[in-house]
Chain A
Amino acid sequence: QLQLQESGPGLVKPSETLSLTCTVSGGSIRSGGEYYWGWIRQPPGKGLDWIGSIDYSGVAYYNASLKSRLTISVDTSKKQFYLKLRSVTAADTAVYYCARQDGYFESWGQGTLVTVSS
């Protein structure tokens, strides 16, 4: 059974870089290449926002609203993909989810809360 697990600091200072890792178990990131691996976030008490997605070869698609601050990368040998969001503000405070994407988001991690505060 595929499982995804987010990890990273729960507190980031304003203007710094938010870095998260998603570790995949019970399956391969390569998986024949048909899947994308995505990041989604949810500010407290609010709805869901797609951040960006990447395939096993490193082809990434970003939400244009975050593109100037965002890097998503993948390491298939470690079965991990990564999120880096630069110059964060309080507006970036959210629960961050990683997910496997077959068009739609089919399997989700449990999420990790990241708070931006000094």
Chain B
Amino acid sequence: DIQMTQSPSSLSASVGDRVTITCRASQGIGIYLAWFQQKPGKAPKTLIYAGSTLQGGVPSRFSGSGSGTHFSLTISSLQPEDFATYFCQQYDAHPFTFGPGTKVDIK
């Protein structure tokens, strides 16, 4: 199975900050990586797929980059509604696997 890791596991930030979360795959996955945002008690929301393609309706302050084994999600200017947990997921090979999540909270 492809193992996904994320760093940091949590971070504290202020509104307006630039935030970057890193996701690494245990083997190369091309660009087959998605990012999700999840708020407490809610379903995940898809933000980005194919490493860097923004899902429809997602604000442009979110961006993704990377390929192979190293990926990142950047929020250019953190907004109050962005405080949440973020997960990456590879869909290059079965079983599809998720990262453990990065919790972004208010400093």
Contacts and interface: CB of A to CB of B under 8 A. Distances in A.
B49 A106 contact: yes
Contacts of B42: 110
B55 interface: yes
B24 to A, nearest CB: 15
Given A104-B89, A106-B55, A108-B43, A48 B49 contact: no
Nearest to B94: A61
A109 B43 contact: yes
B3 to A, nearest CB: 12
B43 to A, nearest CB: 4
Interface of chain B, main secondary structure: loop
Interface residue range, chain A: 20 to 34
A56 interface: no
A65 interface: yes
A104 B54 CA distance: 12
A64 B54 CA distance: 31
Interface string A92-118: 000001000111111111110000000
B71 interface: no
B62 interface: no
Contacts of B101: 47
Contacts, number: 52
B98 A97 contact: no
Contacts of A105: 34, 36, 44, 46, 89
Interface in A27-67: 47-50, 61, 63-65
Contacts of B14: none
Nearest to A97: B43
Contacts of A61: 94
B99 A47 contact: yes
A110 B98 contact: no
B56 to A, nearest CB: 9
Interface string A54-94: 00000001011100000000000000000000000000000
B80 interface: no
Given A63-B95, A106-B55, A47 B87 contact: yes
Interface of A: 47-50, 61, 63-65, 97, 101-111
